[in-house]
Amino acid sequence: MSLEQNYADYSVLNYLQLPVVVFSANEHKEVFQNNSFQLVAQHYLNASNNPTNRGLVQLIISKLLEIDTDKLEVEINDASYRHIFRFTANVVGEHVIVEVEDITELKRNQFLFNRTNSLLEDYSKQMFELAHTDQLTNVPNRRALFAKFSQLQSNHKDFSCTVSLIDLDHFKRFNDSFGHDFGDQVLVTFAKHVKDSIDDTCYFARLGGEEFCLIQINNKDTVCFANTEKLLQTTKTIKLMTPDNSNIGMSFSAGVAVYGKDGISLDELLNNADKALYFAKENGRSRVVKFEGA
Amino acid sequence: MESSLFIKYGGFSRIYIVIEKFYDNILKSETLNTHFKNTNMERLIHHQTSFISSLMGGPDYISDEQLAQAHKNLGINLKDWQEMINILSLTFSEQGISEDDAKQVIAKLETKRDFIVCH
């Protein structure tokens, strides 16, 4: 049987209207013994006396001269026509079947899927950031603090920490005397000061209003307490320019609770730190107080 | 989400079609089609869809440095650039992008000219 005869026998796939060419492996051992698609395609070219396919096949051959593969994608285009074809050679019993598929739509959809997917991932990350960041001060919010605590607790076998609940002194007075914009400026300035003062063993978040939380991880209680004290001293050196051009200082009161001794859950630790904070406020503000138990 | 031309015109799926038509028109241009011999148009359409989308307020795609790097050996001159701009305007008009919106995108594209045209 000649290749020409084989060509005459090719079947047409209805959905693609492109040929599947079946070659007899027995008749053409020299072609198929190394299962080379390049050779198969060469014979396809020889057999292809259909002028509508010739240009296409010639292009494939020119591409195949560079590579030897059983699968090849070929793009054909000019001003009025652009299609991408996938050629696949399969050995089935004694035959090699060369399949041709038009994958133009598939490639377009793959691109759209990938780009849309990456877009969704980006938006998803942005949404996560928005949901976990305080928009005014740009520090983590309450939700982020609880998530971080839970993560630290479950990921570190010997986890320990201190929780400092920090409340800016006389914040209401700032707002009432100089307006909410100035109040916002106080919060932003304080948050930036803390961020610049701590290292990566600390996690700082705004709980809401003028209330913040500083978690210090795996350090001695006394060191953590001293760090919060030091933070208070440096905060007191900050001078803010009020809308009426006078300088004003700031300070905070803090209550400190120790993981294990004063609680295991963050709710419990914050609750006990809040009791110490209340004590600090009642005793003149601008001080750091340890929770001492009931 | 911030409103943008990218959202207004239907995101990647719609802009992809505009860019396909743009390259159909490019390939009809005798001034420009020589630049696209042996070019993988599929890949180019993917890049260009992402790039034009970014100019329309879609996600960031390519830095100016990368843009300059990608075009540095292509020998694109000012005449080619102007022809490309004309074809893009024509394609936008054919594809139902309003004149004002098209001008806005082309103005953004013009800011990238020095990274694309050879000097």
Residues A150 and A274 in one domain: yes
Give the nearest partner residue to B12 out of A75, A116, A123, using CB atoms.
A116
CA dihedral in degrees (B27, B29, B34, B35; nearest 10)? -70
Residues A281 and A242 in one domain: yes
pLDDT range class, residue A7, cuts 50, 70, 90: very low
pLDDT of the residue at B2 = 52
Question: CB contact, 8 Å: B38 with chain A?
Answer: no
- A1 touches A26 (CB < 8 A): no
Instruction: Enumerate the residues of chain A whose CB falls inside 8 A of the CB of residue B58.
Output: 119
Count: domains in chain A: 2
Q: How distant is the alpha carbon of residue A213 from its chain centre?
A: 26
Kindly provide the b/e burial profile for residues A28-39, where b requires at least 16 CB atoms within 10 angstroms of the residue's own CB.
beebbeeebbbb
Q: Which amino acid is at A110?
A: Q
The CATH number given to whatever domain includes residue A147 is: 3.30.70.270
Reported as a single tens digit per residue, the pLDDT across B95-119 is 999 999 999 999 999 999 999 998 7
Reported as a single tens digit per residue, the pLDDT across B27-75 is 888 888 888 876 778 888 999 999 999 999 998 888 999 999 988 888 8
Reported as a single tens digit per residue, the pLDDT across A123-132 is 899 999 999 9
Query: What average pLDDT does range A218-224 have in this prediction?
Result: 90
Q: Is A120 a member of any domain? A: no
Residue A252 φ/ψ, nearest 5 degrees: -140, 165
Q: Is A67 a member of any domain? A: yes
B31 versus A225: which is more confidently predicted?
Answer: A225
Residues A165 and A84 in one domain: no
Q: Are residues A118 and B46, on separate chains, in Cβ contact within 8 Å?
A: no
Residues A166 and A61 in one domain: no
B5-116: CATH number: 1.10.490.10
Segment among A18-22, A79-83, B85-89 with least mean pLDDT = A18-22
Q: Write out the H or E segment, with its range, that includes residue A130.
A: helix A104-132
Residue B21 CA to residue B91 CA, distance in Å, equals 7
- Domain membership of residue A90 as a residue range: 3-107
CB atoms under 10 Å from CB of A120, counted, come to 10
ipTM confidence score: 0.77
Q: Is A19 a member of any domain? A: yes
Residues A92 and A218 in one domain: no
In this predicted structure, the answer to whether residue A25 has a pLDDT above a threshold of 70 is no
Residues A166 and A41 in one domain: no
Residues A250 and A138 in one domain: yes
Residues A101 and A23 in one domain: yes
Question: CB contact, 8 Å: B27 with chain A?
Answer: yes
